[in-house]
Structure formats: structure tokens, C-alpha cells
């Protein structure tokens, strides 16, 4: 059976600010059955998670359902999670990019939390910052996909947490100073956080939204304070912390199952909504993870 298949391509590389016209929705066709002997897997995609690098590489975290499988590890109707190009249907030739969701008893809407967004928040907070209960934690873009999780992890540990979404005035909520800053924005917010930091303060630099589009002021943190307060500023990528993935996954799954961790998502419908949703991410329009629902389960 051949069906139409909408998918997204990068039409123009971005210069300066990303625009809707950088991405294009195309329509192709896909056959939903496999030739005899094939070990491919065909997925009907249910949802797609928008990332900041959508404009550079269109791959994202996709949750889908197996339509047909020549691979013994996957069978029809299995729910799977993987990182690949967004489309209504995907033909997967490399089984290693898929993870089965059969053992996950939470609703699929929480799956991104168990992926790189969650790992970013988990590794940045726990592995880089080595937090202690009672420490003062500041999170920028606390309503974003990673920031909201970092804030929730910090609360679950028993930290005093202040999040902000747009204004460095929130730093003033820390009369005694900040121990940990989970930084997603850079710029003046980073300067304000460093200025408010206590000795041995730690900054996990997860993102630099203020600089993604080239317009924002660059951060000039006070280096003298960095020396005297022995501040540690460290950039990181979640991919460097696959060694703690199992710990992260088990703990976070438990938090999700017991309702201790809240999943915050911002949902749009259909492949057609990807270009505007991707641009919206840079404008801070989303509250929680930006998700595209592609089909009902």
C-alpha cells in the first residue's frame, strides 16, 4: 500500500534570525509494506519534538508506531522512540537509532523527558553542579524544555529554586547569593548570576539563546569574581553523559510514574506547523517542550 507522506526539509540555510521560509513542507509517497527478506522498519510517526538545531539538522526526537518490520526486535504496533527526520512516516534502516517504549507505562507524552532534554537537565544539574540539598539554584528559561526539568530536579533534591523566563531581576530573589546557575541564555543574565554568586558557585552552560540569532549582547561576566569566588563555568552537551543515562532514565521514569515530575509540553498539530513552531522556539513562545502531534496513537 502506497500512501502520501509529508516531510520537512531545510530550504535555505539560516542567516541571522531563523525564518519560516527556511524550512519547507514537501509531500512524497511511501509504501507501507516491506519486501521479503528486508530488515527495515516502517514507522508511523505520532509526535516530533522541536529543537534549537532544527534549522541546521532537521532530525528530532520522534515517537512512532511500527507499521511493518523485517527486524526481529520490532513488531507491528510497537511504540518506538528515535532521532530522525520528521515526516508522517519513516523508513528506518538502522535499528540502533530506535528504542522500544513497550516497558514504559507512562503516557507517550512524557517521552522527551526521558531523552536528551531530560539528560541535559539531569547531567547539567547533577553531574556538573554536584548540588547539595538546601543550595540556592537559579534557572534561566525555566519554562523551556530543559530549564523546567532542571528546576524540577533541583526542587526534588530539596534546593531553593528560582526560575526566570526573560528578566534578570529574578536574580534579586537570592539575598544570600546563588550556589548553582543552570544557564540557558548567556548575555546579561549570566553576568547578573555571576555577580550574585556565592563562593564555589557553579554555572552549567546548557544553551545561549541570547546569541543563537546573533543579535544579543555577549556576556562579560566579572572575571575577578570568578577567581575570588572560585566560580566554575562549564559548557556541556548531554551526549557526553551517556555514562549516566541508565541512572537518569531509571530515576526520571520513577519520578514520572509517581507524578513527582511534571511534564510540560506545548503542542501544535501536523507537519505543516513545524516551520512556525521552530521559529517560535527562538522567540520564547513555547511553555515547556515544543511538540508537534503528527497522528493519534
Binding positions for its own copies, rule: CB under 8 A: 186, 190, 205-208, 211-212, 218-237, 240
C-alpha distance from residue 287 to each of 141, 210, 242 (Å): 9, 17, 27
Q: In three state form, how does the secondary structure of 210-277 look?
A: HHHCCCCCCCCCCHHHHHHCCCEEEECCHHHHHHHHHHHHHHHHHHHHCCCCCCCEEEEECHHHHHHH
C-alpha distance from residue 37 to each of 33, 34, 72, 292 (Å): 12, 8, 11, 34
Closest CB to its own copies among 240 and 285?
Answer: 240
CA pair distance 143, 146, nearest whole angstrom: 8
Give the closest residue to 210 by CA, choosing from 17, 59, 20: 17
Q: How far is the CB of 198 from its own copies (least distance, A)?
A: 13
CA pair distance 1, 20, nearest whole angstrom: 33
Query: For residue 277, how many C-alpha atoms fall within 13 Å in the half-sphere facing its CB?
Result: 25
Q: How far is the CB of 224 from its own copies (least distance, A)?
A: 5
Q: How far is the CB of 46 from its own copies (least distance, A)?
A: 30
Closest CB to its own copies among 38 and 213?
Answer: 213
Q: How far is the CB of 239 from its own copies (least distance, A)?
A: 10
Closest CB to its own copies among 35 and 227?
Answer: 227
Closest CB to its own copies among 54 and 111?
Answer: 54
Q: How far is the CB of 97 from its own copies (least distance, A)?
A: 22
Q: How far is the CB of 250 from its own copies (least distance, A)?
A: 25
CA pair distance 80, 85, nearest whole angstrom: 14
Closest CB to its own copies among 88 and 183?
Answer: 183
Closest CB to its own copies among 1 and 224?
Answer: 224
Amino acid at each position: 500500500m502506497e500512501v502520501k507522506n509529508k516531510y520537512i526539509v531545510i530550504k535555505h540555510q539560516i542567516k541571522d534570525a531563523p525564518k519560516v521560509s527556511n524550512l519547507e513542507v514537501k509531500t512524497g509517497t511511501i509504501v507501507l509494506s516491506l519486501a521479503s527478506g528486508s530488515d527495515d522498519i516502517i514507522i508511523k510517526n505520532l509526535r516530533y519534538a522541536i529543537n534549537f538545531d532544527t534549522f541546521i539538522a532537521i532530525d528530532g526526537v520522534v515517537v512512532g508506531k511500527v507499521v511493518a518490520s523485517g527486524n526481529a526486535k520490532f513488531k507491528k504496533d510497537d511504540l518506538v522512540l528515535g532521532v530522525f527526520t520528521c515526516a508522517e512516516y519513516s523508513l528506518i534502516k538502522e535499528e540502533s537509532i530506535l528504542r522500544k517504549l513497550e516497558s514504559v507505562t507512562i503516557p507517550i507524552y512524557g517521552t522527551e523527558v526521558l531523552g536528551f532534554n531530560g539528560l541535559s537537565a539531569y547531567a547539567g544539574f547533577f553531574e556538573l553542579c554536584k548540588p547539595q540539598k538546601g543550595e540556592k539554584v537559579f534557572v534561566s528559561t525555566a519554562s523551556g524544555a530543559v530549564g523546567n526539568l532542571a528546576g524540577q530536579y533541583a526542587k526534588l533534591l530539596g534546593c531553593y529554586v528560582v526560575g526566570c523566563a526573560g528578566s534578570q531581576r529574578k536574580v534579586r530573589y537570592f539575598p544570600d547569593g546563588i550556589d548553582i546557575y543552570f544557564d540557558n541564555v548567556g548575555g546579561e543574565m549570566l553576568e547578573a548570576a555571576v555577580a550574585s554568586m556565592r563562593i564555589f558557585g557553579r554555572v552549567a552552560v546548557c544553551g545561549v539563546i541570547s546569541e543563537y540569532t546573533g543579535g544579543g549582547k555577549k556576556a562579560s561576566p566579572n572575571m575577578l569574581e570568578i577567581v575570588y569566588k572560585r566560580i566554575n563555568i562549564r559548557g556541556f552537551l548531554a551526549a557526553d553523559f551517556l555514562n549516566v543515562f541508565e541512572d537518569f532514565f531509571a530515576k526520571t521514569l520513577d519520578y514520572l510514574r509517581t507524578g513527582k515530575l511534571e511534564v510540560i509540553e506545548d503542542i501544535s498539530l501536523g507537519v505543516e506547523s513545524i516551520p512556525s513552531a521552530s521559529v517560535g522556539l527562538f522567540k520564547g513562545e513555547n511553555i515547556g517542550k515544543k511538540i508537534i502531534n503528527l497522528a493519534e496513537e
